A and B are shown apart, each in its own frame.
Chain A
Amino acid sequence: MSTQPAMVEVKNLWVRYGKYEAVKGISFSIPKGEVFGFIGPNGAGKSSTIKVLATLQREYDCDAVKINGISVKKAPHLIREMIGYMPDFFGVYEDLTAREYLHFFAAAYRINRTRRKAIVNDVLELTDLTEKIDAPVDSLSRGMKQRLALARVLLHDPDLLLLDEPASGLDPRARIEVRELLVALKEMGKTIIISSHILHELSQLCTSIGIIEAGQFVTQGSLDHIYKRLELSRVVHVQIVGEMNGICQKIESFEGVKSVSVQADRIAIQLQEDQLAVEDLHARLAATGVKIRMFQAEAMDMETVFMKLTEGKTA
């Protein structure tokens, strides 16, 4: 029986810079096709871990760091063929045009000359930069440079994308554009490790997350799993037509409702989702005979998770 190896497997990874321990024995595994969000405060060890995977860290200790079943330490040259790394800075040559820049890296990845033109056109189209093909790189906006960097990592069709803070320093429009691009890559089946401080965006994109602080994981797993483990309650906003006499008490008596607070034009209900699902709450409210004008479940708040789990420590 053959078992497919995880795309990324990290066991007991330690990264030290002299006496300073940036990463302290973290372990995680990412299956193929997953989008893994790497979250943590500055200096938590995110970039060091990504650098190990990108073969850019010489000194580290581990039981295993493998990509596609191949040891990073033993065959860095093979790993480089499999990954697309985007650092937390642009990393673009400003004396080249977009076309020259992409052809430069296509040659660096030894892509067949006959296929280069088509591949460059494809990635430019994907990143919506076709019109800028002959524009000098230094004339592009920050968002465009970031998309160009994404186009670069896609040239050799890598299995794993390592994206270190891809949305940092971008304006809202550019951030949305980059996010949409990442969603497209996710749909293409790429495995992505993404570190970011913009937690709201990660929650919309990631299938699982790892929160790292002071070089150690404080939690990891799927978002739902983490919410449930932390027993975080979801807030549901409800507007009811007419008098609300006794309604609040009735709702509070439902099993799974933690609290009910009356606000100016609505009621905010705190819900234990593992005991009462949002749709069940709606059904039970409707059963009481009240007329519901609005029923809106608040999105799960990753910032709350982050704040609850981390203490602002660095390694």
Chain B
Amino acid sequence: MKRRLLQFGLPLLSKELTEMANRRRTYIIRTIYALLFLGCVGFIYMDSMVPQMSNPLAMLGRGREIFQAMVFLQFVAIYLLLPAITCGVITQEKERNSLGLLLITRLSPSTIILEKYLGRLISMLTFLMLGLPILAFAYSLGGVSPAMFINGLWLLILAMFQIAALGVLCSSFFRTTVAAFIATYLLGFLLLFGSAIASELNLLFYGDIIRALNKVVNQIPGFNNNFSRGSMDLEFLFFAPYWFDRFSWTPGSNSVVKTLIFSLPILLSTLVSLMFAHYFLVRRAFLPANNFLLNLFKSLDRLFSSINNNRVTRGIVLVNDYVHLPESKPIAWRETSKKSLGTFRYLFRILVLLEVPILFLCIIIATSNPEPIVPGAVILLWIIWGLTVLFLAVSATSLIAGERSHETLDVLLTTPISGSELLDQKIAGVKRLCMVLLIPLLTIVLFEAWWKWENSQMNRGNQYESQWLAYLIGSLLTLGIYLPMLVYLFCWIGMKIKSQTKAILAALGGIIAWCLLPFILAFPLFILIPRLNTDSLIYGLFLGPASYVVLNEIAEFHEFGSTWVPLVLNAMIYGGFLLLFRTLCRNHIDENLGRLGYDNNSYYRPDIDSVEGISFDQQSQLSSDI
């Protein structure tokens, strides 16, 4: 009997929960989340309730606002936190070489997947349960219909299932936590918003197809009333908050039934993710250490070579990529000739892959848009910015963290290369990457500036939308400052955090938090100090680096009254940050890497063949200790 109980005892789930309970950071993160969450809901309560405090009856029925705010905050938490929580669930076992041990036990692959999945769901559930007191409170205030209540909980749980399953799938497929982390966020983004973006850009006539499909569906009897928002319903099929917003306003059991029906695609995507996770678990359990990017570039290499070998070009070679032995800068040599994100031929592939579709899209977008602001180009620029941050985070944080994880750092540090020289050589490959990423960004910026100039000639758009020169200078300054700033910031994070995986995750998490910082700070400020109006704190937006990029693209400078003041202010703030991060990296590299440095500027270089070149005075000076 006891043996049977043990067999059904969910040992892996018990282990996961025990491990989680033993980690101090579990409680720290939970406390921070609780404070942020309860604080946000509290501020919303104060904002909406304080004017009604004098009349308690007026407060009745206002629970709906608090409930909705709570549900949307929980959705944000699920989409932001859950990929990070779940992406390491299998990859950590692979990295510790313990997945093989699990697979040879009596646990079947499906049990492993489900227990791991449950373990992370319980973890997320503890976060969501922090909302229960608020839920009870909002319900007691009235205004929350049973249908809204059921819809909210059902969709929250479904969103949790969906994202956790996607995280488990990526974790089962990839070998490292970093790859799974990036893939989970990218796939999640594509799953939730890919359809809407493709429709907006009308990629491969996707928007036309969706609109046609919508017309067809609307002609089916019984469906014509349900797709009331047109093609949007089809574009956001997998996005739970959309359906909450769609059906939470209508009371009655009908809205619950509709929510259940329209949430079927979300449920289906969850099941598909879990099935694929199960499929890949054993097949991709023992992957050899390989460089995904390098393999991708090698296959692209073969493709490009086969295209190049035709009657016209006859395998023409524009740049000879022969690898010589290192001359005077060995670290830079390795970064630019041996790393997949540093070598010329592979960077050229990235450039072609990004630049050709961008040029193509720019032409399509320009021919179909009469306004000075081109939404398609704006979205494209933001996507390329996102990719740029991702590429830089991976490559710049790995500069030092990678040396540490491959146990080569100590050996490198005992060579006579000075700290600043080491840093300069290390970032040589990342600099090349920056140049390559700069080209597609510049293409879009120049295209948009030209388009604004064209429109300014025809006096189209408002006074800010057609200021092409301010847009161009602002964009160029942003590119010129942000790219090196990000490189030095990520490099500094890589020096500070010892594990490569943690460094990359911290870099990505840090930059997202920095971009959201003005909104995180402004929200409580506006609520706590009601006399503040938006104009008085509008420049606080520039506390986040993404704000100016967004404002400049959509030309939202009405509150500032000028395009130049925000431009100069933003350039000064982030120019300062660039100098700060550069100083942190260059001047403190020996300290950050833990080796003895030589602070004297007059760095003495002896004859390499012997140290007998040191004079007697120098010897006696150097031999006196402390």
A contact set with B: CB distance below 8 Å: 5, 54-58, 62-66, 68-78, 80-83, 85-87, 89-96, 99-100, 103-105, 107-113, 149, 152, 156-157
Contact = CB atoms under 8 A, between A and B. Distances in A.
Contact of B619 (A69, A77, A93): A69
A56 B328 contact: no
B608 A77 contact: no
Contacts of A104: 326, 330, 333-334
Residue from B416, B598, B603, B604 whose CB has the most chain A CB atoms within 10 Å: B416
B411 interface: yes
A87 B625 contact: no
Given A56-B594, A70-B619, A93-B406, A78 B330 contact: no
Interface in B578-626: 590-591, 594-598, 603-604, 606, 608-609, 611, 614, 619, 621-626
B253 interface: no
B626 A80 contact: no
Nearest to A104: B330
- Residue of B330, B413, B415 contacting most chain A CB atoms (<10 Å): B415
A283 B595 CA distance: 59
Contact of B418 (A77, A93, A107): A77
B325 A76 contact: no
B114 to A, nearest CB: 37
Contact of A95 (B338, B591, B596, B604): B338
Contacts of B334: 93, 95-96, 104
A58 B410 contact: no
A109 B608 contact: yes
B604 A77 contact: yes
Contacts of A112: 608
Given A57-B596, A74-B625, 12 more contacts: A58-B596, A68-B611, A69-B623, A71-B626, A77-B603, A87-B410, A93-B334, A95-B334, A104-B333, A105-B330, A108-B331, A110-B608
Contacts of A95: 334, 338-339
Contacts of A89: 407
B594 A156 contact: no
Contacts of A99: 325
Given A100-B325, A104-B333, A78 B606 contact: yes
Q: Which of B407, B408, B411 has the most CB of A within 10 A?
A: B411
A109 B327 contact: no
Contact of A93 (B327, B408, B596, B626): B408
Nearest to A108: B415
A58 B591 contact: yes
B364 interface: no
Contacts of A90: 407
A57 B413 CA distance: 11
B338 A91 contact: no
Contacts of B614: 70, 78
B70 to A, nearest CB: 43
6 contacts: A70-B619, A77-B418, A85-B410, A110-B328, A110-B416, A149-B411
Contacts of A62: 625-626
Contacts of A71: 622-626
A75 B325 contact: no
Given A91-B408, A107-B333, A77 B416 contact: yes
A294 B596 CA distance: 58
A75 B609 CA distance: 17
B414 interface: yes
B412 interface: yes
A174 B295 CA distance: 34
A214 to B, nearest CB: 24
A72 B407 CA distance: 23
A57 B425 CA distance: 23
A14 to B, nearest CB: 12
Contacts of A64: 625
B258 interface: no
Nearest to A103: B325
Contact of A73 (B417, B611, B626): B626
Nearest to B614: A78
Interface in B314-338: 325-331, 333-334, 338
A70 B608 contact: no
Main secondary structure of the interface of A (DSSP, over half): loop
Q: Which of B407, B594, B625 has the most CB of A within 10 A?
A: B625
A56 B595 contact: yes
Contact of B414 (A56, A92, A93, A94): A56
Given A80-B416, A85-B411, A93-B408, A74 B330 contact: no
Contacts of B603: 77
Contact of B604 (A78, A86, A93, A149): A78
Nearest to A55: B596
Given A62-B625, A90-B407, A93-B334, A107 B326 contact: yes
B330 A107 contact: yes
A56 B411 CA distance: 10
A96 B591 CA distance: 29
A107 B329 contact: yes
A56 B413 contact: yes
Contacts of A56: 410, 413-414, 594-596
A152 B411 CA distance: 10
A74 B410 CA distance: 20
Nearest to A157: B609
B407 A73 contact: no
Given A56-B414, A71-B624, A107-B327, A156 B598 contact: no
A81 B410 contact: no
B408 A58 contact: no
Contacts of A109: 415-416, 608
Of B334, B596, B625, the most chain A CB neighbours within 10 A belong to B596
A94 B405 CA distance: 13
A184 B578 CA distance: 52
A82 B611 contact: yes
A69, A82, A91: most-surrounded residue (chain B CB, <10 A):
A91
B598 A77 contact: yes
A58 B591 CA distance: 8
B276 to A, nearest CB: 31
A74 B326 contact: no
A30 B569 CA distance: 61
Nearest to A81: B416
B422 to A, nearest CB: 9
Contacts of B591: 58
A81 B608 contact: yes
A286 to B, nearest CB: 55
Nearest to A72: B596
Interface in B213-271: none
Given A80-B416, A87-B411, A66 B623 contact: yes
Contact of B611 (A57, A81, A105, A111): A81
B410 A105 contact: no
A154 B418 CA distance: 20
B261 to A, nearest CB: 54
A81 B414 contact: no
A302 B325 CA distance: 46
Interface centre among A93, A112, A149 (most CB of B within 10 A): A93
Contact of B338 (A57, A68, A96): A96
A27 to B, nearest CB: 13
B585 to A, nearest CB: 17
A101 B390 CA distance: 30
A16 to B, nearest CB: 14
A105 B606 contact: no
Nearest to B340: A95
Contacts of A113: 327
Nearest to B598: A77
A72 B598 CA distance: 11
Contacts of A57: 594, 596
A69 B622 CA distance: 8
A172 B118 CA distance: 48
A55 B414 contact: yes
Contacts of B597: 76
B414 A85 contact: yes
